[in-house]
Chain A
Amino acid sequence: KNEVEQSPQNLTAQEGEFITINCSYSVGISALHWLQQHPGGGIVSLFMLSSGKKKHGRLIATINIQEKHSSLHITASHPRDSAVYICAVSGQETSGSRLTFGEGTQLTVNP
């Protein structure tokens, strides 16, 4: 079993729909990251969370530390949101903050 599990693996939506991507983890963490990877390959950090909720534009990320679960929401989705969304956690080990990644969610938003 992977330490970080994402669902769904693939998601197709119509423009304007509300989207939720879920992430569960099984290890102690210092932070959880939501990343976005576009077809060109580059990775952009969207959020870094250690508790509660964060919002940036149409994106909202929440985390429940007790349940070891996080969600990424996209409101009023747009075709430009099409990308792979990756959940990653920073472990509690004292040496560094390496990331352990989920397998990613491929999101396609159709016009």
Chain B
Amino acid sequence: DSGVTQTPKHLITATGQRVTLRCSPRSGDLSVYWYQQSLDQGLQFLIQYYNGEERAKGNILERFSAQQFPDLHSELNLSSLELGDSALYFCASRGTGGNTIYFGEGSWLTVV
């Protein structure tokens, strides 16, 4: 158990819909990263938050947004979903003392 919790584990939704993926980092970790793993593009960095503020942005679509709340949990919002958004979405957290990154189990999103 990495200590990073993601919900839901599986989600099936229709095109055009909006979903929210939730992540609770390891206790005390201030950094949260979101990654997308799709069959055709592999693992890609989406966005990072540090202590509530956006720190870095990767290949995140404009239809996607994220935030980190005062209790340090984070949400990734995916809207106007397309078939190509079907993927495994990972959240990871990192402590301030080291560089080891801990991954959640991922949220499987299927858009039909």
By the criterion CB–CB under 8 Å, are B56 and A93 in contact?
yes
A52 at interface, CB cutoff 8 A: no
Chain B residues in 8 Å Cβ range of A43: 90, 103, 106
**Cα distance, A40 to B37, chains bound together (Å):** 13
B99 at interface, CB cutoff 8 A: yes
Chain B residues in 8 Å Cβ range of A111: none
Asked, given contacts A93-B56, A98-B56, A98-B58, whether A42 binds B45 with beta carbons under 8 Å apart, the answer is no
Chain A residues in 8 Å Cβ range of B97: none
- B103 CB contact (under 8 Å) in A45, A95, A97: A45
Q: Chain A's nearest CB lies how many Å from the CB of B43?
A: 4
Asked, given contacts A41-B105, A41-B108, A42-B105, whether A97 binds B99 with beta carbons under 8 Å apart, the answer is yes
Chain B residues in 8 Å Cβ range of A31: 99
**Cα distance, A55 to B44, chains bound together (Å):** 28
A57 at interface, CB cutoff 8 A: no
Chain A residues in 8 Å Cβ range of B108: 41
Looking at A20-28, A65-73, A100-108, the stretch in contact with chain B turns out to be A100-108
**Cα distance, A46 to B60, chains bound together (Å):** 27
Number of interface residues of A (CB under 8 A): 25
- B35 CB contact (under 8 Å) in A42, A93, A99, A104: A99
Q: Which of B95-112 contact A (CB under 8 A)?
A: 98-106, 108
Chain B residues in 8 Å Cβ range of A98: 33, 45, 48, 56, 58
Interface residues of B, Cβ cutoff 8 Å to A: 2, 31, 33, 35, 42-45, 48, 50, 55-56, 58, 88, 90, 94, 98-106, 108
Please name the 7 residue pairs, one residue from A and one from B, whose CB atoms are nearest each other, closest first.
A43-B103, A96-B56, A101-B43, A98-B45, A96-B55, A96-B48, A95-B56
Q: List 24 A-B contacts (CB under 8 A).
A: A30-B99, A33-B101, A41-B105, A42-B2, A42-B103, A42-B105, A44-B2, A45-B101, A45-B103, A48-B100, A86-B43, A88-B43, A93-B56, A95-B48, A95-B56, A96-B33, A96-B48, A97-B94, A97-B99, A98-B56, A98-B58, A99-B101, A101-B42, A101-B43
